[in-house]
Chains A and B, each alone.
Chain A
């Protein structure tokens, strides 16, 4: 048993119409280990996992599960074999209770096929939670009311209840707090001892070294290598992932800070935001730190006219403005890169070109209101080149691009509007190190030109590394403001947890 690996993926090749997404990729997972799968966006990690979990079909290659060929043509077949995938974007049935979510599709019956045994569902969930030391979730709570981290715990619990021997987690820590992350790792370590294996897809290198036993690196759809975590250094890992050395992770350049560009005072939204006041200057990066759910995104949505403001004053260049819709916000040269790339960013069925142009038709419309398609194509091609978007051409459907490349397209969409104020909500979430540093450089160039930047980020090193000033929020209020020179992770965390000195 011990010499047969749990899972053997060999020589996988996956071809999408016109694109080779994976070329000769192999991966071996041993029981009771945590295996990190690393690579830049577009390296093919997600594609590989989707093949394994039965969502995509492979073009060539073999997948062996406990020594025998595994039929990955159906999702349920893979699930029953003992492989569970937990996606980055969780899709629980939010109108159902926690316990119902765990047992959905295989409810125990009091009378077979007629009457569900609700008591047993709750009891079984309690036992499951006890085993996993999940103490802070009520099995009767509605899933929709829970935080992302708790939903993730529920997904893990569900996987365990299916007797899964391999749990795949795609970016599990990208939207949860440090504390929740430690809890997650504790559970992972416990389950590992029981022989359950994990595949972790993540971009956070320090976490990889904290939790994993082995690391497999992929790049551009190719298999680069597998290493014991103990045998590889962080610098070496990053070098293998990007194929080049990244010397400066946060290329913050000093920019001249000018006059106040945007001033918000007393902004409130009933039950959500309380008395939010702040200023941003020209050429300044204002960071917004805080835990998930602190209300940072909501502040920006209100500012941009997506949400209605109950009270408060917004001033642009010293003049009070009344922004009621994103369209009006754009008139004041404000741009907003939203946090939810798929939900409110990309037009998935449309082409890369259409996605770039949606806010920018003004630039290609002639006096008869006709769109000049030749000029349009040229502009889009310039943008693709400028932001190094990996795509065949501008007519490629954006849904076929990797997350990092989609993000670059969205950034180019907003920068083409030539904003004076740009709000970046988690601009580098779920993005590989290479693209990340490209985006950081882009931000630096923007402030160099006098643009006022507001950047929300849940990654403390990023906020501290990039911002001139950091505002910290906690439960809908601003609890602290920290200058760049005095910013430390501890200080920000204190404010973010609502600890007032």
Chain B
């Protein structure tokens, strides 16, 4: 009996501030255990790494709240990386055209995903696994095994530069975050996303255009992945078809750790950012402590499983 109430108590605390607590705990531990963690260089490094996952995470969060998930963002990043750099390689053009190309790619893949899932009633897992493979294949085919380099400083500056002391990607992250937060909290569309994730049938009966809303969540996820892709490309200063692999998994893991429910209808941007930071700090910590890259993969898998387990327990305790 006592165990149960303790478990309930812990879950309760975790539900309110848990991710933040875990994050702080990790930061304290790493500060004590390594000399290099609590340095400006390293912290900014973490933020830079996490930024790209977090932008994908916005899209992942929105699709998850809408009751489904998206496995294609990683591939969208790859295709974006190739197509956007092809348009400017060898020129001194900046971010403008690549960004337009990226958004077009994101819209297109998102539309296909959303159309298959909302209008053809395909399971999200199969549909987005299909586009994941298809889009990655397309990127590899177009690139034909070669990276695309020779990009202007104006372009690469978007990924590597700073305004004041803030890295430009972080500024973009914050802007997109505010847009997403506003959308989910203050617009009817955002509330309808929660509604279709909470109970699709009830949403339809309540006059929500459920199919259109679901389609939107995928288009949103596609565009977020594409934006993340173009900035990441600028950061690594070359177009690469293999870019962004497993990003969707990192984003989904972050979301779930941050309290976004896999069953839909539940989640907040604050939790999601904390969740992604947990993943980022952990990866960084393992780097600093010289954990082998292979072992890091093992750890990532374990975290993913723990996160989903947590979600299951949470869902259970919410109904019981």
Contact = CB atoms under 8 A, between A and B. Distances in A.
Interface of A: 17, 50, 55-59, 73, 304, 306, 325-327, 329-330, 336, 338, 343-350, 354, 357-359, 361, 365, 369-371, 373, 397, 399, 413
A57 B1 contact: yes
B264 A359 contact: no
Contacts of B320: 50, 55-56
B209 A350 contact: no
A373 B186 CA distance: 7
B191 A354 contact: yes
B198 A371 contact: no
Contacts of B194: 347, 350, 354
A330 B207 contact: yes
A50 B319 CA distance: 12
A350 B198 contact: yes
B48 to A, nearest CB: 33
A357 B195 CA distance: 10
Contact of A350 (B186, B195, B201): B195
A349 B263 contact: yes
A347 B191 contact: no
Given A349-B261, A358-B191, A358-B192, 7 more contacts: A327-B207, A327-B208, A327-B209, A347-B203, A358-B208, A361-B188, A399-B318
B195 A347 contact: yes
Given A57-B1, A57-B4, A344 B201 contact: yes
A397 B194 CA distance: 13
B206 A326 contact: yes
Interface string B60-97: 00000000000000000000000000000000000000
B265 interface: yes
B199 interface: yes
Given A17-B12, A358-B208, A359-B207, A346 B202 contact: yes
Contact of A371 (B12, B188, B201, B261): B188
23 contacts: A17-B8, A17-B12, A55-B320, A326-B204, A327-B207, A327-B209, A329-B207, A336-B205, A343-B199, A344-B201, A347-B198, A347-B199, A348-B199, A349-B261, A350-B194, A354-B194, A354-B195, A358-B191, A358-B208, A361-B188, A361-B191, A371-B185, A371-B186
A59 B186 contact: no
B5 interface: yes
Contacts of B205: 304, 306, 326, 336, 338, 344-345
A369 B198 contact: no
B206 A358 contact: yes
B266 interface: yes
Contacts of B4: 57, 73
A343, A357, A358, A361: residue with the most chain B Cβ atoms closer than 10 Å: A358
Contacts of A57: 1, 4
B185 A373 contact: yes
Contacts of B39: none
B179 to A, nearest CB: 13
Interface of B: 1, 4-5, 8, 12, 185-188, 191-192, 194-195, 197-199, 201-209, 261, 263-266, 318-320
B186 A345 contact: no
A329 B4 CA distance: 48
A57 B8 CA distance: 11
Contacts of A370: 186-187
B198 A348 contact: yes
A358 B261 CA distance: 20
A341 B113 CA distance: 31
A371 B191 contact: yes
A306 B205 CA distance: 7
B187 A371 contact: yes
B271 to A, nearest CB: 14
Contacts of A338: 205
A181 B320 CA distance: 31
Nearest to A18: B12
Given A344-B205, A349-B264, A370-B186, A357 B198 contact: no
Nearest to B264: A349
Contacts of A344: 199, 201-202, 204-205
Nearest to B261: A349
B186, B207, B263: residue with the most chain A Cβ atoms closer than 10 Å: B207
Nearest to A365: B188
Nearest to A359: B206
A135 to B, nearest CB: 36
A306 B206 contact: no
A46 to B, nearest CB: 12
B201 A343 contact: yes
A349 B266 CA distance: 7
Contacts of B185: 371, 373
Contacts of A365: 188
A371 B184 CA distance: 10
Contacts of A354: 191, 194-195, 198
A133 B290 CA distance: 73
A349 B206 contact: no
A11 to B, nearest CB: 14
Nearest to B4: A57
- Shortest 5 CB-CB distances between A and B: which pairs? A347-B198, A349-B265, A327-B207, A361-B188, A344-B201
A336 B319 CA distance: 26
B188 A326 contact: no
Nearest to B202: A344
Given A326-B207, A370-B186, A345 B198 contact: no
B119 to A, nearest CB: 14
A462 B254 CA distance: 52
A326 B204 CA distance: 7
A369 B187 contact: yes
Contacts of B8: 17
Contacts of B208: 327, 358
Contacts of A325: 204, 207, 209
A257 B266 CA distance: 45
